[in-house]
């Protein structure tokens, strides 16, 4: 298997309601689990950022499916390259829309509090996504502790 990472972003075609976004995520997770694709999706009402990892051929098919979705336009492939290991091995498709975390990390990686993937390099987008992933894990662990102590 040729493990490959693809980083892309696109503009939202318009705001998505919770139900539509949930449908996109369920479909993505189902396909990704079947094809052993992992990754993370960040969405605000203007942009999507997606990092996908998996076997090159399956990743290509997955990306073709993503590109055909009408929820976005002006899709940009930032990079697609072979990697030795996954950055997101635990998630069929992690999802982030935490405005506070995104704003803080946007300042760190693009110099503006607005989420603007078009202002970031491939490296900064990957680091941005990894930091978002760390925030997801920290919140998940915090929620587990809160449940245990309640």
List, in order of start, the domains of the chain with CATH numbers: 3-149 (3.30.70.100)
Beta bridge partners of 89: none
Strands 38-43 and 94-96: parallel
Q: What is the pLDDT of residue 97?
A: 77
pLDDT band at 139 (very low <50, low <70, confident <90, very high): low
CB 59 within 8 A of CB 113: no
For tokens 């993937």, the residue is: 117
pLDDT band at 102 (very low <50, low <70, confident <90, very high): confident
pTM (2 d.p.): 0.87
pLDDT at 68 over 90: yes
CB 79 within 8 A of CB 9: no
Q: What is the pLDDT of residue 114?
A: 87
- Per the prediction, the chain carries an average pLDDT of 86
pLDDT at 111 over 50: yes
CB 54 within 8 A of CB 4: yes
C-alpha dihedral sign at 55, 24, 101, 75: positive
For tokens 């539509």, the residue is: 20
């Amino acid at each position: 298997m040729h493990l490959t990472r693809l980083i892309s972003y696109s503009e939202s075609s318009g705001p998505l309601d919770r139900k539509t976004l949930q449908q996109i995520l369920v479909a993505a997770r189902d396909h990704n689990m079947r094809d052993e694709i992992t990754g993370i999706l960040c969405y605000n009402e203007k942009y999507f950022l997606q990092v996908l990892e998996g076997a090159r051929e399956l990743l290509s098919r997955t990306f073709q499916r993503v590109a055909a979705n009408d929820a976005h336009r002006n899709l940009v492939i930032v990079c697609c390259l072979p990697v030795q290991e996954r950055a997101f091995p635990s998630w069929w498709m992690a999802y982030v829309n935490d405005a506070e975390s995104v704003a803080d990390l946007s300042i760190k990686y693009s110099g503006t509090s607005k989420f603007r993937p078009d202002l970031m390099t491939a490296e900064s987008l990957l680091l941005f996504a990894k930091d978002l992933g760390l925030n997801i894990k920290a919140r998940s662990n915090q929620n587990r502790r809160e449940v245990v102590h309640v």
